[in-house]
Amino acid sequence: MRRRLAVIAVAALSLSACNANSSDGKEDKGGTEKGGTLSILTSASSVTLDPAKSQNLAITTLGLLVRRLTTWDIQPGKTAKVVPDLATDTGTPSDGGRTWTYRLKDNLKFSDGTAITSADIKYGVERSFAPELSGGLSYHKNLLVGNDGYKGPYGGQGLSGIETPDEKTVVFKLKVPYGDWPWLVSMPAFAPVPKAGDAGPQKYGQNPISSGPYQVESYQQGNSLKLKRNPNWDQAGDPVRTAGPDQIVFQLGQDSAVVAQRLIADSGEDRNAFGASFVPPAQLAQIQQNAGAKQRLVTSEPGALAYLALNVTRPGLQDLKVRQAIQYAVDKKAFQVASGGTVGGDIATTLITQGIAGRQQFDLYPADPSGDVAKAKQLIAETGRPAPTLTLLVENGATDVSQAQAIQQGLVRAGFTVNIKTADEEAVTAETTGANADYDLTLASWQPDFPSANGNIQPLFESTEVGNGGYNKSRYVNGEVDALIKQATGETDPARAQGLWAQADKRILQDAPVVPLIYTKNSFLHGSNVQNFFVAGFPAYPNYLKVSLKR
């Protein structure tokens, strides 16, 4: 989903080359006022409310309803931080990072008034293993002891990798050391679910029992989701959520162009609304001519990485020198223009994106943003063979095709022949993440599911992520990199882990399996009564937990 949204973001920003970054991702630093009804206008027609099935970011929809053991502290201009949510801290590691212990805060209650206990956390995680509830973020499922063949709690079996020695303590036993476990327990599956309140996998998601500041008032799939205050939520124990509005209404299935027009018009109830979808190109250009709307346009800091994946298993790309030549031949400037200019994103040279702790800036293939054709030709000459003919697989959207043409024109300068092959989004996803990889190059975009360099590197470059739905679209397999990923993953000291991830970043790019193109930016529009609306670099989406209304 991240990938899909990021691609849409690039599309949405493709028209205007002028500066839409009216707010630099920062907006309205006023205090949090209480009251009012906030409307969130979204093109999505349904919301996955069951934590086990959700891929929601910690700071968006589900974060309003359910708390997790930890959560994210996202502030404009600052690096994302993991902070305690239901737990008293972000976790105590032992056994070299194989065991993580959490203690719950005092006086935690569900929306029905019952106490939240460690058993509810355990049950929530166990549910995420049920095949009936597949689809959510699943990083933890590979790690917990006892996961082999475990199919959830509905057959009466518990997961041996989670212990609850008392009502307030929960202990996770992992198969391997995992330093980023505090980030994983911020994911939806780590929200508490009371066993007594679970009417079954198909029913619980209709109205989950809330632990956050809001609870579901009504949900009409395709029409609206209305949230009202949870009287049993205690602001004192939750420093991350400000819970400004009395009511939040998600207007579902909205056309993005109409949403943008409504927010530009800024009349009536739309003053209390913001768009959860990216502003479409036509309206982005319109906003530039409208001073009032321009003030309410918020563009993120550079976020997701747009990159060109080189399928290293293909005959034409097995030679490192050919892949290095592509690094120099690609015209990143042209790609940036095809993506909407500087408002579409900044030129990228690393795999770890901005806003992620421990990122190191470097450029292994220094060249003008338009490329270094002479250097590329020299590298091709050194191979002793002509530059190969390559197939570039991309989605069939207008922006995707423009971006592909920018890549094609860059590579042609160095003697490559590039044939662009377009397909529907689902078909491209199936081919690039499945077993049958009939492409040499493909364009992709990636925003990590959690703000750690681990999220930048592991899903895209570990050998286990080739095929079977994995996102290693370069089909890159390097034992040395796998070992480095394993070492960094198991490191519980954040500073040392960050050093290892930065090392992995450089090591991977030495093999040139991808060309980093741009760090993309997303633009959102909000009504004039909306305050505390900002979009950071990670994640490049509004922080729903902080938004409030002027009273």
Partner 1 sequence: MTAVRFVGGRIVGALVVLLIVSVGTYAVFYLLPADPAQLSCGKPCTPQRLADARAFMGVDVPWWQQYLDFLGGLFAGRTFGSGPAAVHCGAPCFGYSFRLDAPVSTLIADRFAVTFSLATGAAVLWLLLGVGAGVLSAVRRGSAWDRGAMTFAVAGVSAPSYLVGLLGILLFGFTLDMVPVGGYTPFVDSPLDWLWHLVLPWCVLAFLFAAVYARLTRGQMLEVLGEDYIRTARAKGLRERRVVGRHGLRNVLIPVVTVFGLDLGQLLGGAVITERVFSLPGLGSLLLEAVGNVDLPVIVGVTLFSAVLIILANLAVDLLYGVIDPRVTH
- Residues of this chain that interact with partner 1 (CB under 8 A) are 1, 45-46, 50, 55, 130-132, 134-139, 141-142, 151-152, 154-155, 200-203, 205-206, 220-223, 251-255, 257-258, 261-262, 265, 267, 424, 426-427, 429-431, 433-434, 436, 449, 459, 465, 468-471
Quote the CA–CA distance of 229 and 496 in Å, as a whole number.
42
Evaluate the CA torsion angle 400, 135, 182, 461 in order and state its sign.
negative
Min CB(126)–partner 1 separation in Å: 12
If the CB atoms of residues 79 and 224 are measured against partner 1, the closer one turns out to be 224
If the CB atoms of residues 203 and 385 are measured against partner 1, the closer one turns out to be 203
Tell me the backbone φ, ψ of residue 99, rounded to 5 degrees.
-125, 135
Contact 210, 110 (CB under 8 A): yes
Quote the CA–CA distance of 342 and 420 in Å, as a whole number.
25
Contact 249, 228 (CB under 8 A): no
If the CB atoms of residues 250 and 307 are measured against partner 1, the closer one turns out to be 250
Min CB(193)–partner 1 separation in Å: 14
Min CB(322)–partner 1 separation in Å: 28
Tell me the Cα Rg of the chain.
23
If the CB atoms of residues 147 and 164 are measured against partner 1, the closer one turns out to be 147
The residue count of the chain comes to 551
Min CB(174)–partner 1 separation in Å: 16
User: At a CB cut-off of 8 Å and minimum separation 6, what does 541 contact?
Assistant: 57, 59, 60, 276, 300, 522, 524, 535
Closest by alpha carbon to 194, among 105, 103, 113? 113
Min CB(138)–partner 1 separation in Å: 4
3-state secondary structure of 40: strand
Min CB(304)–partner 1 separation in Å: 15
Ordered DSSP codes for 234-266: -GGG-SS-----SEEEEE-S--HHHHHHHHHHT
If the CB atoms of residues 1 and 483 are measured against partner 1, the closer one turns out to be 1
Contact 234, 252 (CB under 8 A): no
If the CB atoms of residues 54 and 210 are measured against partner 1, the closer one turns out to be 54
Quote the CA–CA distance of 337 and 402 in Å, as a whole number.
9
If the CB atoms of residues 46 and 318 are measured against partner 1, the closer one turns out to be 46
If the CB atoms of residues 401 and 430 are measured against partner 1, the closer one turns out to be 430
Min CB(225)–partner 1 separation in Å: 12
If the CB atoms of residues 135 and 366 are measured against partner 1, the closer one turns out to be 135
If the CB atoms of residues 104 and 457 are measured against partner 1, the closer one turns out to be 457
CB atoms within 10 A of CB 35: 12
Min CB(255)–partner 1 separation in Å: 5
Min CB(249)–partner 1 separation in Å: 11
Residue with tokens 């009417």: 199
Min CB(153)–partner 1 separation in Å: 9
Min CB(380)–partner 1 separation in Å: 33
DSSP state of 451: S
Min CB(220)–partner 1 separation in Å: 7
3-state secondary structure of 417: strand
CB atoms within 10 A of CB 83: 17
Contact 524, 535 (CB under 8 A): yes
Min CB(232)–partner 1 separation in Å: 26
If the CB atoms of residues 446 and 519 are measured against partner 1, the closer one turns out to be 446
Quote the CA–CA distance of 308 and 441 in Å, as a whole number.
7
If the CB atoms of residues 27 and 270 are measured against partner 1, the closer one turns out to be 270
Tell me the backbone φ, ψ of residue 82, rounded to 5 degrees.
-90, 130
Start-to-end CA distance of the chain, whole Å, equals 35
Quote the CA–CA distance of 352 and 82 in Å, as a whole number.
18
DSSP state of 104: B
Q: CB-side exposure of 483: number of CA atoms within 13 Å?
A: 4
Ordered DSSP codes for 445-466: EE--SSSSHHHHHHHHHSGGGS
3-state secondary structure of 382: helix
Contact 346, 518 (CB under 8 A): yes
Q: Which amino acid is at 474?
A: S
The dihedral over CA atoms of 290, 296, 302, 308, expressed in degrees to the nearest 10, equals: -60
Min CB(485)–partner 1 separation in Å: 13
If the CB atoms of residues 200 and 231 are measured against partner 1, the closer one turns out to be 200
If the CB atoms of residues 85 and 449 are measured against partner 1, the closer one turns out to be 449
- CA angle, corner 548, sides to 546 and 550, nearest 5? 150
